Amino acid sequence: MNKIESTSLDLEKLNVEKIKELFPNVVTEGKIDFDKLKIILGDQVDDRVEKYQFTWNGKSNTIKLAQSPSTGTLIPSKDDSKNWDTTGNLYIEGDNLEVLKQLQKTYYGKIKMIYIDPPYNTGGDFVYKDDFKDNIQNYKEQTKQTSRANPETNGRFHTDWLNMMYSRLILAKNLLSSDGVIFISIDDNEFVNARKLLDEIFGEINFVETFVWKRRSTAPNDRIIGKNHEYIILYSKNNVDSKLYLQPRAEETNQRYSNPDNDVRGDWVASDLSANGKGGRLVESCIYPILNSNNGLEYWPPNNKCWLYNKEKMNQLIIEGRVGFRLSTGTPFLKRYLSEVREGSTFATLIEDIDLEGVGTSQTSAKEVKFLFNQDVFEFPKPVNLIKKFITSGSSKSDIILDFFSGSATTAHAVMQLNAEDGGNRKFIMVQLPELTDESSEAYKAGYKNICEIGKDRIRRAGEQIKQDLIEKKNKAGLLDDNIVDPETFDNGFKVFKLESTNIIPWDGTIKFDENTIFSQTEVIKEDRTSLDVLYEIMLKYGVFDKPVEEIKVNGKTMYSIAKGYLIVCLDNNISLEDVKEIGKLKPRNVIFKESGFRNDNDKINATYTLEKLGVEEVKSI
C-alpha cells in the first residue's frame, strides 16, 4: 500500500516536469542536461557576465526557500470559527510563506484576485524572518516574541524586505488563475523595489497600472512637502488572458435615461450633435444645414462648430430615427441609448474620496474600525470601499479572493459587503501572522493579544452587521423583493485553521527515535492531535482542501467522505476486510487508511487488491 506524500507541492519538481514536457530530449537519466538545453535555446540564452539584472544578498536562497516543500499542516479550529458546516470562507493563522505552500496543491491556478497590504518597511514595521532549515519551528519561536523592527541601521533595510516579499510573490503567482490579477498597496519606501520584484516574477509585459490613492483629504504639515498619497500596483498573471471588469455604473446615470416617444430601442438621453471638429479644426464636410421636418426649418451647427458626422451619415441616422429635435428650440440632437452605454465606468488611476464610489481615506477606515469595535484597535487599516473597488475590477461574483497580509481583515469585510449588495458568491481566504500586539496599545488593553484576534473578531462583527442590515432591508421591502439578498443564506462565516507541525509522527523530522522505540512505534498520529486534524492534513496533501466533508458510518466504523464520495478517509482502528468491502460498495475513486489501523497484516495486504477489484483507482495510507 503506497503512502501519500508527506509534504506540500514540490515546486522544484513541478518546474522540472514542465521542462521535460517541453524538451524531452534534454532529459538524461531523469535529470536535465542544462548544456543541451542551452544549445536548443540558442541565442535566447544570455550568458554574459555583465547584464541588466536585479539582485541582492540572499536572493538565491530566497528562491530555494520558495520552492522547498513544507512539512507543516493546517489545524482546524472549529470553536474559533463561525458557521463551520456551511461557510466557504477561510481564515488562516500562520506565517504566510508556509501557508502559501500549504495552499499550492488545492488552489494552484484557482485564485482570481489577490490583494495584499504588506509591511511598508518604514523602520518600525514587523519584518518576517524566514529560516531555510526549519521554517515551521522558526515560526513557532517568532510568534512567542514581540514584533521586531527593521531599522535602517541594521544595514539590510531593503534586503530583508526583498527576501521576505520575493518568495511569497513567487508562491502567490502560482495560485493565480490564468486570468487572475494581484493588487499590492505600497508607499515610497519600497515602491521602486516592488516594481522590480513584480517585473521579474510576473514579467514586465504583465504590468497593468499603478494607482495613486489619496489617503488623506488634507496634506500633513509635519514637513515642507506633505505626503497624502499611497500607491496600489496592479499586475496580471497573463495579460493575454487577463480580464478586468468595469466599475458598477452609478444609479444616477440610469435615471437620466427615459423613453418619452416609446422608441423600440429603449430608454435614451439627448446628446449634442455638434463638435469642435478634429483637434480644434473644423471639418468642412460636416458643416451643412439639417432640416427639421416638424417645423420645416433648417438648422446649422453653432458658430465655430461642425456636426459630428458628414451629410451622408447624418441622413442615415435621421432615417433610422436616431436624430430628434428639441421642442423648445427646434435644434437637432442625437439619441444616446442606455443599451449602448457600457455597463460600468472605467477605473481611473487617481483614486480620490470625491469619486461617486466614495472610496474613503485613512480617516474613513479608522472610523469604520472604531464603529465596529467602539474603540481604536488597529492602526492604518484600508477603507472597505477602496478594497471593494479593487474586487469589482479584478474578479467576478463567484471568484476566490486571497489576502495573505490580511491585518484587520478589511478584505474579508469588503467581500461580504459586496456579496450582500450584488448577490455574489465570492469566497475569501485570509492569512495573517499572529503578531503580538503592543502591551501599551488599545487593542491589547481590550483583550486582543495578537492581530489575528482582531481580524477574526472584525469578520464576526462586520458579518453580523451586514446580515442585520439585510434583515432590515428585507422587512422594509417585503419578502417578495428578490433584489435583496436573503439574510438566511448570506455567508458571513469562516473556518479558522492554524499553522502547525505535521500530525503524522513518521513525517516529523524533529522526532528522534532510539533503538528501543523505533520498532515498538505503531501509532502514526501524535497524541495531542485529533482525527479531524489528520483529515485536513490529508486533504491538504491530496489537493482537496476546498471540498465538502461528511462524516459517515461504514460497517460501524467512523469515516469521512470528501467531495461527495470522491475520496474516503478511514482513520479508525481494527479495520477488517469486511469493512474494506463495504467501503468499496460506496464506489469512491480514492481511499486512504491509517496503516496501523488494520486488524492484521493479512487484511492490510488484501485491502488494496479488494478495493481495486471493486473499481477504486487509488488506495494509499499514512
When pLDDT is cut at 50, 70 and 90, the band that residue 345 belongs to is low
Range of weakest confidence among 192-201, 349-358, 376-385, 490-499: 349-358
**H/E element holding 202?**
helix 191-202
Q: Which residues pair with 210 in a beta bridge?
A: 233
What's the rounded Cα separation, in Å, for the pair 198 and 196? 5
Q: Mind listing the pLDDT tens digit for each residue in 87-118? A: 999 999 999 999 999 999 999 999 999 999 99
User: Can you give the length of the chain in residues?
Assistant: 622
When pLDDT is cut at 50, 70 and 90, the band that residue 532 belongs to is very high
Mean pLDDT of 475-483: 72
Pairing of strands 618-621, 590-593: parallel
Mean pLDDT of 248-274: 84
- Where is pLDDT greater, at 122 or 457? 457
DSSP notation for 323-338: EEE-TTT--EEEEEEG
Q: Tell me, what's the pLDDT at 477? A: 78
- Where is pLDDT greater, at 44 or 402? 402
Closest C-alpha among 101, 95, 70, 69 to residue 164: 95
**H/E element holding 114?**
strand 111-116
Task: Tell me: pLDDT of 596 over 50.
Answer: yes
Task: Tell me: pLDDT of 514 over 90.
Answer: no
When pLDDT is cut at 50, 70 and 90, the band that residue 589 belongs to is very high
When pLDDT is cut at 50, 70 and 90, the band that residue 347 belongs to is confident
Q: Tell me, what's the pLDDT at 366? A: 81
When pLDDT is cut at 50, 70 and 90, the band that residue 357 belongs to is very low
Residue type, 435: E
Question: What's the half-sphere exposure (Cβ side, CA atoms, 13 Å) at 448?
Answer: 23
When pLDDT is cut at 50, 70 and 90, the band that residue 520 belongs to is very low
Q: Tell me, what's the pLDDT at 481? A: 65
How high is the mean pLDDT of the chain?
87
Mean pLDDT of 119-125: 67
Residue type, 232: I
Mean pLDDT of 588-601: 93
What are the backbone angles phi and psi of residue 73, rounded to the nearest 5°? -155, 175
Task: Tell me: pLDDT of 435 over 60.
Answer: yes
Q: Tell me, what's the pLDDT at 6? A: 83
Closest C-alpha among 185, 205, 201, 242 to residue 67: 201
Show me where the domains of the chain are located.
2-53, 61-216+237-249+344-497, 263-336, 511-621
Query: Under 8 Å CB-to-CB from 320, ≥6 apart: which residues?
Result: none
CA distances to 87, 148, 164 from 437, rounded to whole Å, are 29, 12, 21
Q: Mind listing the pLDDT tens digit for each residue in 11-40? A: 888 888 888 888 888 887 778 887 878 778
Cα torsion 376, 378, 384, 389 to 10°: value is 150
What's the rounded Cα separation, in Å, for the pair 106 and 362? 36
Angle formed by the axes of helices 384-394 and 410-422, nearest 10°: 60
Range of weakest confidence among 193-197, 275-279, 548-552: 275-279
What's the rounded Cα separation, in Å, for the pair 408 and 455? 4
Task: Tell me: pLDDT of 147 over 50.
Answer: no
Q: Tell me, what's the pLDDT at 202? A: 95
Residue type, 301: P
Closest C-alpha among 116, 111, 117 to residue 237: 111
Q: Tell me, what's the pLDDT at 358? A: 61
Burial class (CB in 10 A: 0-12, 13-18, 19+), 577: middle
Q: Tell me, what's the pLDDT at 145? A: 53
Query: Under 8 Å CB-to-CB from 159, ≥6 apart: which residues?
Result: 56, 57, 58
Q: Give residue 480's region: left, alpha or beta (phi > 0; psi -120 to 50).
A: alpha
Closest C-alpha among 603, 601, 614 to residue 591: 614
In the block, which residue shows the cell 479644426?
281
Task: Tell me: pLDDT of 49 over 90.
Answer: no
Task: Tell me: pLDDT of 591 over 90.
Answer: yes
Q: Tell me, what's the pLDDT at 11? A: 85
Q: Mind listing the pLDDT tens digit for each residue in 540-565? A: 999 999 999 999 999 999 999 999 99
Q: Answer positive or negative: Cα dihedral of 497, 498, 499, 500.
A: negative
Range of weakest confidence among 196-200, 246-250, 354-358, 477-481: 354-358
Range of weakest confidence among 87-91, 341-345, 382-386: 341-345
What's the rounded Cα separation, in Å, for the pair 408 and 451? 7
**H/E element holding 606?**
helix 601-613
CATH architecture of structural domain 61-216+237-249+344-497: 3-Layer(aba) Sandwich (3.40)
